[in-house]
Amino acid sequence: MAVTVLAPHASPVAARPSYDWPLQPRPAVTRPFDPPAKRWLPGHRGVDLGAHTEAAVLAARAGTVTFAGPVAGRPVVSVLHSDGVTTTYEPVTPRVRRGEHVVTGQVIGYLDTGHDGCTASACLHWGAKLGSGRTATYLNPLGLLGLLRVRLKPVSD
């Protein structure tokens, strides 16, 4: 039996996902989502998307910029969307400011080099989480695009 599981913010009647790729043309995923078993352990809480330095980085969905600046020496932009999901983009030199409303596809910054483990000339680390602080749940951003399928296998008694 195959079952498709929708993310909490997805609608089964939607003609297309409510999110879009943060890079155009559609980038290659160079490193997949690999969340840690426990929130304090190391892991990869997003996906890396191959691109070139200074590629325009786009808002994946309309929302409000909650952060635009350096984190641990790397430039980051975070956008809170109406469904409670926050998407993050790094390393991105911001062209937006905290509190600014952005629309889907709007340029929010330009890709910098220097993302560890990147196999392309530059990589965008695209993250997503629902909630904030210690209760935040990290999401696979590819699920926001409707690209993930979950298949359940029957369990024998």
The 8-class DSSP code of residue 143 comes to H
DSSP 141: H
Sign of CA dihedral 97, 34, 26, 111: positive
Q: What is the structure's pLDDT at 119?
A: 79
pLDDT at site 16:
47
Q: How far is CA 41 from CA 34, 36, 45, 89, 105, in A?
A: 11, 6, 11, 21, 33
Distance of CA 126 to the CA centre of its chain: 4
pLDDT score recorded for residue 12: 39
Decide if pLDDT at 108 tops 50.
yes
Q: Can you tell me the mean pLDDT for 110-136?
A: 87
Predicted model pTM: 0.82
- Judged against a pLDDT cut of 60, whether residue 41 lies above it is answered with yes
Which is nearest to 89 in space by CA: 39, 32, 23, 7? Answer: 23
Mean pLDDT of 67-71: 96
Q: What is the pLDDT of residue 53?
A: 93
